[in-house]
Amino acid sequence: MAKARARHILVSTEEACKNLKTQIEGGGDFAAAAKEHSTCPSGKQGGDLGEFGPGQMVKEFDEVVFSGELGKVHGPVKTQFGYHLLEITSRTP
């Protein structure tokens, strides 16, 4: 079964999400941004969600994590929780 590791930043608005993505792509630290801005409890761990398989996260999340490019910041991804920036740190087939 496929497995992935990812980290994310959860914020309430698309605009905030886009601003953070610009900062990170400009050299900002993903983990530091997660600790400062994420409304998810995982923010305390730099947004790290650990390892998980398909179907363990919401559908919109899974679609990005199991098909997106590794090491790239993806988003904004809208879910019922808000807007996410996602970084896929590893994935196994």
- pTM for this one? 0.95
Dihedral angle over CA of 40, 78, 61, 68, nearest 10: -120
Bridge partners (DSSP) listed for residue 79 = 82
Q: What are the tens digits of pLDDT across the range 22-75?
A: 999 999 999 999 999 999 999 999 999 999 999 999 999 999 999 999 999 999
Quick one: average pLDDT of 7-14? 98
The span from the CA of 48 to the CA of 45, in Å, is: 6
Q: What are the tens digits of pLDDT across the range 63-83?
A: 999 999 999 999 999 999 999
